[in-house]
Each structure stands twice: as C-alpha cells, then as structure tokens.
C-alpha cells in the first residue's frame, strides 16, 4: 500500500513540475502580440490625387487668391503677383512674397512652370526659389531654376539647397511643363540662449524623384560667404521674384501639412 502511495506521490510531483516547467516556458517564449501596439491610432486623412491637397492640408494657393500671401518687403502690402487661369505668376516689380502665417516643421507641395520659350542662361533663366523659413537675418532656399539643358554651378541648380547641397539627380521636365516639388522640412532648434541645438534638415523630391535625402543644413543659404545659424522660431515661407531678365515663372497647387 505504502509503495503504491509513494508511486502516486512521485507521479503527482513529476506531473506538477512538468506542468509548471512547460507553462513557465510558454510564458517566457516571445509571442507576436508582445510587439504589437494598438494606440495611438493614426488620424484618418483623405489623400489628394497627387495635385489636390490632402484633407488636413493648409492650402496656401488654390488658384484663385493670394489671400495667404503678402509682399515680403512690406508685409502691410498685398503680394502683388498676377493671378490668372488658376496660376500665380511672378511680378518682378512687386518683389518676393511670403506667407502671412509662420510655420515650423512641415510637408510642402508646390508646382512651378517656366514659359515654353524662355530665354537666358545659367542663373538668369527662370530663377526663383522657395525659402523654407525667412527671418530678418536670412533664410534657407531650395533653388527653383530652369535646369533643363541649362548649365550653372551645380549647388545652385534646381533642387539644390542653395550653395550647400547639389541635388542627387536632375529630374526636370522641359520648359513649358509643370515641375512638382515635395519638401519635408524640419526647422532648426536653438537653446534659450540662442545656441544651435539641432540643425535644420530637408528632404526634397522633384517630379517624384528624390534629390535631397534628409540633408542637414549648415546654416542660412548665402549668395556670398559661408552659412551660419542665427536663432529663430516659426517663420514665414517666401517665394523669390528674382531680378534676372528672363520671362517670369508661374506657380500652382501650393499646400502644406504642419508636422
Ligand atoms: Mg533662386
């Protein structure tokens, strides 16, 4: 009887420890759900069709009005560029224009076109530019230029971060066709006493082709001299009315998504 009982004890002990061992093994084995998260849930955004803005975009130019823009030299004045047929065209006499609002980090979409029979060469052919942030001491320009069969310094051709980064490739279409810029901008950050904490970075696609891959800016883009950083916060975006004598360029479909 006692040996039967002993056997029973042993069997129960073995079974119990086997169960505990296998269950603890099962608990320590990684499971797919250990690395799955369900919050936060991304907000639903209705996408555009490539040209029309997504549902959460801030529309800066809808083809009808320059209400979001002012004269860059005197922000109390209207922008003064020509709006016609769903486009806005540079008015060189009016000068640069800038957004009424200020922005920090964003995704920006814009389209531009130079006239089909544009004249001039080098920096004097369809020169404009988008300043991703503009403030009294400077700004950061991604170059707009007719760089289709048009030689210039490569860190000043279309899609360059002006005089800092040459575009990776040149995906421009011929004059008379629309060029599409998609830009992801992360503004620089500064400490309270004005020291650079984090440089600005920019990613640029032209006509869907990557030309700047999250490059870190060396400071403001300068025509003469080396870039440096000066502290600033959220800032307007500026479009350049370049003084060259070539026929003026046009823009359409400008929108951004603050990040
Ligand atoms: Mg320019």
How many CB atoms neighbour CB 249 within 10 A? 27
Task: Quote the ligand 1 centre to 15 CA distance (angstroms).
Answer: 80
Task: Quote the ligand 1 centre to 126 CA distance (angstroms).
Answer: 9
For residue 102, give every residue at least 6 positions away whose Cβ sits within 8 Å of its Cβ, in sequence order, or none. 233, 234, 235, 236
Q: Tell me, what's the pLDDT at 1?
A: 47
Q: Tell me, what's the pLDDT at 28?
A: 86
Task: Quote the ligand 1 centre to 49 CA distance (angstroms).
Answer: 29
- pTM, whole model, 2 decimals? 0.88
From the list 220, 225, 236, 118, the residue with the least C-alpha distance to 179 is 118
Task: Quote the ligand 1 centre to 11 CA distance (angstroms).
Answer: 86
From the list 106, 51, 108, 100, the residue with the least C-alpha distance to 77 is 100
Task: Quote the ligand 1 centre to 145 CA distance (angstroms).
Answer: 7
Q: Tell me, what's the pLDDT at 244?
A: 87
190 and 235 Cβ atoms separated by less than 8 Å: no
| Strand order across the 238-239 sheet | 69-71, 97-99, 238-239, 128-135, 138-144
Task: Quote the ligand 1 centre to 34 CA distance (angstroms).
Answer: 51
77 and 148 Cβ atoms separated by less than 8 Å: no
Exposed (0-12), middle (13-18) or buried (19+): which is 197, by Cβ within 10 Å?
exposed
CA distances from 148 to 21, 23, 27, 164, 245 (A): 71, 68, 63, 20, 18
Q: Tell me, what's the pLDDT at 214?
A: 98
Q: Tell me, what's the pLDDT at 19?
A: 61
Task: Quote the ligand 1 centre to 131 CA distance (angstroms).
Answer: 9
Q: Tell me, what's the pLDDT at 26?
A: 62
Distance CA 81, CA 248 (A): 10
Task: Quote the ligand 1 centre to 124 CA distance (angstroms).
Answer: 9
One pLDDT digit (tens) per residue for the chain, 259 residues: 456 666 666 666 666 666 666 666 666 899 999 999 999 999 999 999 866 899 999 999 999 999 999 999 999 999 999 999 999 999 999 999 999 999 999 999 999 999 999 999 999 999 999 999 999 999 999 999 999 999 999 999 999 999 999 999 999 999 999 999 999 999 999 999 999 999 999 999 999 999 999 999 999 999 999 999 999 999 999 999 998 888 999 999 999 999 9
């Amino acid at each position: 009887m006692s040996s039967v009982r002993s056997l029973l004890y042993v069997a129960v002990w073995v079974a119990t420890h086997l169960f505990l061992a296998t269950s603890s093994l099962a608990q320590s084995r990684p499971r797919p759900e250990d690395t799955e998260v369900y919050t936060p849930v991304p907000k639903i955004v209705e996408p555009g069709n490539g040209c029309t803005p997504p549902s959460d975009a801030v529309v800066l130019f809808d083809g009808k009005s320059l209400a979001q823009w002012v004269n860059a030299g005197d922000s109390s004045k209207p922008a003064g560029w020509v709006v016609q047929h769903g486009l806005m065209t540079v008015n060189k006499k009016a000068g640069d224009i800038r957004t009424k609002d200020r922005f920090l980090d964003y995704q920006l979409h814009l389209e531009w076109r130079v006239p089909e029979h544009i004249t001039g060469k080098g920096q004097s052919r369809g020169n404009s530019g988008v300043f991703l942030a503009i403030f009294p001491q400077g700004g950061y320009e991604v170059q707009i230029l007719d760089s289709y069969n048009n030689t210039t310094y490569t860190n000043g051709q279309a899609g360059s971060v002006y005089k800092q980064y040459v575009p990776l490739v040149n995906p421009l279409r011929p004059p008379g066709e629309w060029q599409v810029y998609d830009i992801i901008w992360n503004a620089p950050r500064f400490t309270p006493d004005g020291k650079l904490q984090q440089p600005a970075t920019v990613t640029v696609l032209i006509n869907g082709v990557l030309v700047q891959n999250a490059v870190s800016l060396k400071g403001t883009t300068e025509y003469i001299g080396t870039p440096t950083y000066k502290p600033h916060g959220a800032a307007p975006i500026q479009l350049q009315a370049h003084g060259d004598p070539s026929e003026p360029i046009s823009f359409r479909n400008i929108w951004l998504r603050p990040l």
